[in-house]
């Protein structure tokens, strides 16, 4: 079962698109949108990433950080980022540790689930299944949390 609203977000460290180690604790005091998706450069995942790209400046203006997580490696993330000009970090969860910690694993992939984590590290919103439309996902989150 996906982690519920109100619980502490599991801490993690992972390599981003550029090979830099990123930890959840790097963003203490900020709201973090941690979105899990199945696979780079697939139709639904691309539309979802483009949704976050379109809303990036608005998120940035509200001091909200977006982090995408999939089981893809850094090279795959680099290609995906370059192809679509994604302005946010993608984290390579190759061993599935983050996916398992957030209980969103589905075989060798992550389920499409988004967690909104407040500045204290608490999960304040969870989007999954029917509560998520990939094309408008980023804007839907903004309407809910701002």
Q: Which positions are annotated as active-site residues?
A: 45
115 class by beta-carbon count within 10 Å (0-12 exposed, 13-18 middle, 19+ buried): buried
Q: DSSP letter at 33?
A: E
| Separation between Cα atoms, residue 76 and residue 78, nearest integer Å | 5
Q: Are 44 and 29 in contact (CB under 8 A)?
A: no
């Amino acid at each position: 079962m996906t982690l519920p609203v109100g619980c502490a977000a599991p801490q993690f460290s992972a390599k981003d698109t550029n090979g830099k180690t990123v930890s959840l604790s790097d963003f203490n005091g900020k709201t973090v949108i941690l979105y899990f998706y199945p696979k780079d450069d697939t139709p639904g995942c691309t539309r979802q990433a483009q949704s976050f790209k379109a809303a990036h400046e608005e998120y940035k203006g509200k001091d909200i950080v977006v982090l995408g997580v999939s089981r893809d490696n850094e090279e795959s993330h680099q290609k995906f980022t370059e192809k679509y000009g994604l302005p946010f970090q993608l984290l390579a969860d190759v061993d599935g540790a983050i996916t398992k910690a957030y209980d969103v694993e589905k075989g060798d992939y992550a389920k499409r689930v988004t967690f909104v984590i407040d500045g204290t590290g608490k999960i304040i919103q969870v989007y999954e299944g029917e509560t998520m439309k990939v094309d408008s996902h980023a804007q839907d989150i903004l309407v809910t949390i701002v």
